[in-house]
Amino acid sequence: MKSIQSDVNAQDTDALDRTGFDALVDKALSRRSLLKGGMAAGMLGFFSLSPVAQAVAAALEPSRLLGFKAIKASTDDAIALPAGYRSSILMSWGDPVLPGAPEFDHKGGNSAADQALQFGDNTDGMALFHFRRPDGSNDPDRAVLAVNNEYCNYKYLLQNGEALTREDVDKAKAAHGNTVVELVREGGQWRYVRDSKLNRRIHLETEMQLTGPVAGHALVQTAADPDGRKVFGTVNNCANGRTPWGTYLTCEENFQGVFGADRDEDVPPEQARYGIKAAEDRYRWWQHDDRFNLSKTPNEPNRFGWIVEYDPFDPQSTPMKRTALGRVKHENAELVLNKDGHVVVYMGDDERGEHIYRFVSKNKFVEGQDAMNRTLLEDGTLYVAQFNGDSDKHAGRGRWIELSHGKNGLSVENGFADQADVLVHTRRAAKQVEATTMDRPEWVTHNPHNGQVYCTLTNNKHRGNKDEQPLNAANPRASNHYGQIIRWEAKGGDHTAETFDWDLYLIAGNPTVHEGNLYAGSDAITADNMFNSPDGLGFDNDGRLWIQTDGDDSNAGDFAGMGNNQMLCGDPATGEIRRFMVGPVGAEVTGLTFSDDCKTMFVGIQHPTGAFPDYLDGGKPRSSIVVVTREDGGVIGAA
């Protein structure tokens, strides 16, 4: 999401005192040549510990894994792809989804009620679920697509450009949430089915249920819901996850923006910790809807910041907020089925100096017992990561610290009343146990071939500049405006183990602007593939790592030559990175999913600011899902 965090980042990065920045660069302890040696040593040590990784590396020819010709950076207001690839628009903000929905009105005339029937705004994480045939196989050409609608841009959503009335706020509430649509593939091309019975809009008026340790607790009770179990809506749904039992996970990120209060004293420190402010003046929901005003409904924010699970094939089902997974600004939820049947979920909290989390289910997955499997995220143990290591090698050993009441100082004496208190105030608990502060953890993904886990650390202007965020081995650069990708391997390949080995898979940078220091980037970064602010991340079935960016697209200064936001593809065995896609002007590239055969890739283009995708005179730019296919019908990214 650019609107809340990255806009600020971009402005602040531009405003960096150049002399101060250069001084920081000069002071960086490790020179690039040392980094190269360190990375090589780190990777060697890492892989040498992993027979699985060695086998995969030996089995995969790099040239087979990345089979396309890299493209150049671009500042064009268009989608750019390698030769032999094509793209089309699947669905754009405001497209009709439910029966009775009107067409999108470029003049801004759609009402709140219209928006609730149309595709929500700012497409983000998504997942494709193929229909299951009676014989248990997947139908290759029919599916539902569950999509996050992260936030809205008042400049385009509202005719006045600001929320002046309850109707304006209701329209914004209807633009948030999720959209589910049926898709069909005809002649090799996917399209969405308008008015399908499976289509669904989920927004701020959709009834949901709190589950897990926090459900029913005093911290989530309100006048409208004295039982503390029934919540209306989900908000700021950033990235996503999916489960082996066929449900979708949608993750609530920057919920702080939709809350406000009449007076400063009505925002207690535990809410300020998540960024909630009195007199919030960007979205103004609190001025028109008491539910979002802490002076009137103080516990409502505790009912957001969760991971939500729902069945994408049942539009009548009640989405479940899974409180056992903690309350943070969730980016995505990467679910790994451990070899012993435990379900493990890796998660990032996207804020400067926040943390990486792991959930381990209490019970085990049983194939075919989906009614039981659907309860697995209700009960389990939450952990937070501590990355220890060698600053020169950018590698080391980490451990997971349990966030259970009564353990690791999470006690009544330290201000934690019970487990619900720990979970509602997950950030405070992580601080209590001295988790490692990270450079804004965004998406987490795992390699299906060897179980190694990767997480984007998008950037952090505060690193090295705030006392509580000193440099550390995993976050080695002051004023980190480029970002890095960290990866780890669970001890013995057991994702429930206490320890793991980690290294930095890559450090983004600009080798045409910086030389001889970490800001030039790690070995894999060249003038031909450089980028900043890695964010979206995902492996395909073959083990290609897709990297999406949400960064500074000024194409100037420290970002010269990087162009618009983009998507790259990495071969984790060799470290090679190639640029695959460039997005249109102003947009972030975020959200990806594949058809089962990996011959179609769905990619999210969020918050464009030019003329994409309609290129209409006077038309509004619209966030859109793009369908990428190959002219020869082959697998995306392969030879």
Contact partners, residue 216, CB within 8 Å, separation at least 6: 210, 227, 228, 229
Select from 625, 610, 587, 578 the least CA-distant residue to 83: 578
Closest CB to ligand FEO among 114 and 331? 331
> Cβ(215)–Cβ(282) under 8 Å?
no
Q: Which ranges constitute the DSSP H helices of 131-198?
A: 154-157, 166-175
The residues with which 383 forms a beta bridge, in sequence order, are 358, 402
Distance CA 407, CA 425 (A): 15
Quote the least distance from Cβ 602 to ligand FEO, whole Å. 18
428-467 positions binding Ca ion, by CB under 5 A: 442
**According to CB under 6 A, which one of 150, 182, 501, 503 is a site residue for ligand FEO?**
150
The item of Ca ion, ligand FEO, none sharing an interface with residue 180, based on CB under 5 to 8 Å by kind, is none
The item of Ca ion, ligand FEO, none sharing an interface with residue 573, based on CB under 5 to 8 Å by kind, is none
Q: Is 532 helix (H, G, I), strand (E, B) or coil?
A: coil
Residue 1 interacting with ligand FEO (CB under 6 A): yes
Size of interface with ligand FEO, in residues (CB under 6 A): 7
The two beta strands, 320-322 and 207-211, are parallel
Closest CB to ligand FEO among 123 and 522? 123
Closest CB to ligand FEO among 280 and 442? 442
Closest CB to ligand FEO among 2 and 393? 2
The item of Ca ion, ligand FEO, none sharing an interface with residue 252, based on CB under 5 to 8 Å by kind, is none
The item of ligand FEO, Ca ion, none sharing an interface with residue 253, based on CB under 5 to 8 Å by kind, is ligand FEO
Quote the least distance from Cβ 247 to Ca ion, whole Å. 21
Residue 174 interacting with ligand FEO (CB under 6 A): no
Contact partners, residue 500, CB within 8 Å, separation at least 6: 397, 398, 399, 400, 488, 489, 490, 491
Distance CA 414, CA 620 (A): 52
Quote the least distance from Cβ 3 to ligand FEO, whole Å. 9
Quote the least distance from Cβ 521 to Ca ion, whole Å. 19
The item of ligand FEO, Ca ion, none sharing an interface with residue 309, based on CB under 5 to 8 Å by kind, is none
> Cβ(219)–Cβ(421) under 8 Å?
yes
The two beta strands, 624-630 and 588-594, are unpaired
Distance CA 18, CA 466 (A): 18
Contact partners, residue 333, CB within 8 Å, separation at least 6: 239, 240, 241, 249, 251, 307, 325, 345, 346, 347
Q: At what angle do helices 32-48 and 51-59 cross, to 10 degrees?
A: 110
516-575 positions binding Ca ion, by CB under 5 A: 535, 550
Closest CB to ligand FEO among 350 and 540? 350
- What one-letter code names the amino acid at 395? A
Closest CB to ligand FEO among 150 and 334? 150
Structure tokens at 8: 């600020």
Residue 331 interacting with ligand FEO (CB under 6 A): yes
- How many helices and strands (H and E) does the chain possess? 13, 28
Residue 378 interacting with Ca ion (CB under 5 A): no
Residue 410 interacting with ligand FEO (CB under 6 A): no
Quote the least distance from Cβ 151 to ligand FEO, whole Å. 8
Quote the least distance from Cβ 331 to ligand FEO, whole Å. 5
Distance, CA of 291 to chain centre: 26
Quote the least distance from Cβ 49 to Ca ion, whole Å. 31
Q: Given the rule CB under 5 A, which residues bind Ca ion?
A: 442, 535, 550
Q: Given the rule CB under 6 A, which residues bind ligand FEO?
A: 1, 150, 238, 253, 331, 350, 442
